Structure 1
Amino acid sequence: MDKISYLFLLLTLLAEIVGTVGGFGSSVFFVPMAGFFFDFQSVLGLTAIFHLASNISKISLFRKGLDKKLLLRLGLPSVIFVIVGAMLTKFINAKALEIILGIFLIIFSSFLLWKKDFEIRTDRKETILGGSLSGFTAGLLGTGGAIRGVTMAAFNLEKEIFIATSAAIDFSIDFTRTFVYFGNGYIHTHDLIYVPFLVVIGFVGTYIGKYFLNFIPQDKFKSVSLILVLLIGIVTLSKILFF
């Protein structure tokens, strides 16, 4: 047990709570945070496994809100393109991927903080594009929840419908990319010691996040989440470029 980083586990729990309440999913916080403890390929493998447990808990807690039609429209292109993104990680340097991740988080969060009323139309073409980009970035960078969140926000869904449907799409993405990451050799034996802890944290963090949702206005917390995403992006990029 001396090999376990309890700071990493604590930060993972916070990422799950904030990700649940903010609506972006925990990976947008977990991936850059885990990069301080593991190499980027290990982070991708652990993210996929962690998210499987996290999304199962979200689906079970918010199952009444599942929108099957939206699940199909967003989920199918997401699953197809997560395979493409995950396969590309084998051909791109891990350091380059971290730089891309940092830039992506900074640009995306800054844009949404600037354009708070930004919405994507609910037409079929825009929905498919949003799902495709979400799946691709999830496979390539480990996180695509922010793009999917913006796409789903255009439908003005209630919180439970939003979270349940997003979690179901995310589960499909994670289930698919786990096999690709395993084939790429990203799921390392020495990292599996964390899996039982991540499974428990996925359930506990989601439950706590669901509790906080009753007290926190979604619009206000989303701004706080975006600021955190921006800061994480800056720290991630700084770590690679200057240290």
Structure 2
Amino acid sequence: MTTIDVIILFLSATAAATISGASGFGGALVLLPIVTHIVGIQAAIPILTIGQLFGNASRVYFNHSSLEWKPIVLFLITALPLTLIGSYMFSQVNGNKIKIGVGIFLILLVIYRRLKLTNKHIENKGMLLGGGLTGFISGIAGSAGPIGAAFFLGLGLSPTAYIASEAFTALSMHITKSFMYSKFDLIGQKEIALGLIIGVAMILGSWLGKEIINRLSQKSFIFIVEALLVVSGIQLIITGIYN
């Protein structure tokens, strides 16, 4: 790995974390192809997991006063055990079909929201379902931020409450994945070093994202998040087909 590669990783991580800081997700989807190109997919997932520990922790810190604990707890009840299961299966399962399915799900979800087929917000059972789905896919495919974001968006929270609450659950899942990856010797000194570089960049990006959402109206914020969900869905479908 060259110095140029490290600089590219740092700048890319800053940009990715800015997106995540402003929308609650998307950073990993932007960063994963870049990290994969530099270090390979098997190393990329653990490295991103370490980096996202910093990214999500900083988003929680910058928005901690807006945390909504009830949906967080409900989400994590199912997310954490299924993150463990997904992480265990990480090296044994081809995640391409899962990516395609997730991509289709995200696009259909936004269409559903735009058509306003219902005015009801997601309730307790929905958060339990969302947590389990997000945790499993996060463990097995490396990232499931858009899925978790979609469920938290359905709660009708303020932008900062949405960002902080989703980030707290993501942080919890990344800690769980880090434990599993280290247990199966997927995290070494190289992964830790690169993860720390990405992590520092993500702290900067999270701060920039916080500044952005402070300047957005609720309507604009929701539109941006939904647009990113569609983009993420398309990207997942494409990478699932061509990887």
Distance 2:98 2:57 in 1: 26
Aligned to 1:179: 179
Residues 168 and 162 of structure 1: CA distance in aligned 2, closer, same or farther (over 3 Å): same
Aligned to 1:199: 199
Distance 2:69 2:233 in 1: 32
Distance 1:78 1:206 in 2: 23
Report the more deviating stretch, 30-39 or 112-121. 112-121
Distance 1:41 1:140 in 2: 12
Distance 1:138 1:194 in 2: 20
How much does 1:30 deviate? 2.7
How much does 1:4 deviate? 5.3
1:174-225 deviation line (CA, Å, top 9, x unaligned)? 1111010112222233333323321211210000011111334212312431
How much does 1:231 deviate? 4.7
State the superposition RMSD in angstroms: 2.4
Report the more deviating stretch, 139-148 or 32-41. 32-41
How much does 1:228 deviate? 3.2
1:124-146 deviation line (CA, Å, top 9, x unaligned)? 32221111101111101111221
Contact 2:100 2:241 survives alignment (8 Å):
no
Q: Which residues in structure 2 correspond to 1:13-92 (within 5 Å)? A: 13-92=14-93
Count of aligned residue pairs for this structure pair:
236
Residues 154 and 114 of structure 1: CA distance in aligned 2, closer, same or farther (over 3 Å): closer
How much does 1:46 deviate? 1.0
Report the more deviating stretch, 22-31 or 156-165. 22-31
Residues 165 and 25 of structure 1: CA distance in aligned 2, closer, same or farther (over 3 Å): farther
How much does 1:64 deviate? 0.2
Which residue identity does 1:19 align to in structure 2? S
- 2:224 counterpart of 1:221: yes
SS in 2 for 1:35: helix
Residues 2 and 104 of structure 1: CA distance in aligned 2, closer, same or farther (over 3 Å): same
SS in 1 for 2:195: helix
How much does 1:233 deviate? 2.6
SS in 2 for 1:115: helix
Contact 2:32 2:48 survives alignment (8 Å):
yes
Q: Which residues in structure 2 correspond to 1:46-195 (within 5 Å)? A: 46-92=47-93, 96-97=94-95, 99-100=96-97, 102-104=99-101, 106-117=103-114, 122-195=122-195
Q: What's the TM-score, normalizing by structure 1?
A: 0.86
Contact 1:15 1:29 survives alignment (8 Å):
yes
Distance 1:53 1:235 in 2: 28
User: Where does the alignment leave 5 or more consecutive residues of structure 2 unmatched?
Assistant: none
Distance 2:226 2:176 in 1: 31
Which residue identity does 1:20 align to in structure 2? G
Distance 1:100 1:34 in 2: 21
1:92-138 deviation line (CA, Å, top 9, x unaligned)? 2xxx22x2354145313432343333778533322211111011111
Which residue identity does 2:84 align to in structure 1? I
